[in-house]
Structure 1
Amino acid sequence: MGLLERLNDDMKQAMKNKEKEKLSVIRMVKAALQNEAIKLGKTLSEDEELTVLARELKQRKDSLQEFENAGRSDLVDKTKEEIHILQLYMPKQLSEEELAEIIQQTIAEVGASSKADMGKVMGAIMPKVKGKADGSLVNKLVQQYLA
């Protein structure tokens, strides 16, 4: 089942169960997917759908940080709920150990030896872990291994 089909099914279920927050998040994701499809002028591939989902998730995480810094507990709770709902549609996240293994393999593949090779390593790793790992965590681990 494709992401849009899953979203439509979950949207119907959320309406029946009167889950306003879930319904709102699903509608927002569907709108973001439709906007991206219009912008690209074609139906989105699974990879492109994943990119849109990851972008929405990242926006929520950034907002969460800002709300916490501002002491807005009302918005913090709402944003945490949105993040939780969005994560239901993301692929299973890699553990730090699995990620470390991929990073070490990639460093060996590209022959990286210093922090100067950081861009080369990140460019090779990100397509492999797209949607399965947070970019900032990947960046932090790559820096550790290249130090």
Structure 2
Amino acid sequence: MGKAPNIPVTGHAIRNINEVYSNQLTKGQRIADYVAKTVGSWPFIILQTGIIFLWMGFNVYLVYMRATNPGYFDAWDPYPFILLNLVLSFQAAYTGPVVMMSQNRQAEKDRLMAEHDYHVNIKAEHEIKEIIKSLRVQEEALTQILNRLDAGGKNT
């Protein structure tokens, strides 16, 4: 009867990679994530759409009031809304790179997660092989015990 293998148990504490990674973020990375999360949300899209409609509507109203009432003040951004276009271009010029920074950081995090999963899988595979070896040794021992019991029962 063989000796059961001693399955090594590592003493490493299980860590949440997401938590570890989040704790190491710089302030700039946190801001980039917040901006990407905010800009990519429905409330932001709805708010921005509302602001654009208000901007255009108010300027059209001011143009109309100036045309009907000569003493009325001019619209600050009449059609074709060049100032609005400038504001939206400015927003896009800054939002695009910030979102890209957030995506690059997310890709790095995904790479680290995949690497961590790979190491966990290798460790699990090794431990499963050791468990299978142990089960085979136990099966052999049980078979020998059964054979002895059968042999002892036949002699009586």
Higher relative contact order (CA closer than 8 Å, sequence separation 6+): 2
TM-score (norm 2): 0.23
> Computing the radius of gyration over CA atoms, which structure comes out larger, 1 or 2?
2
TM-score (norm 1): 0.24
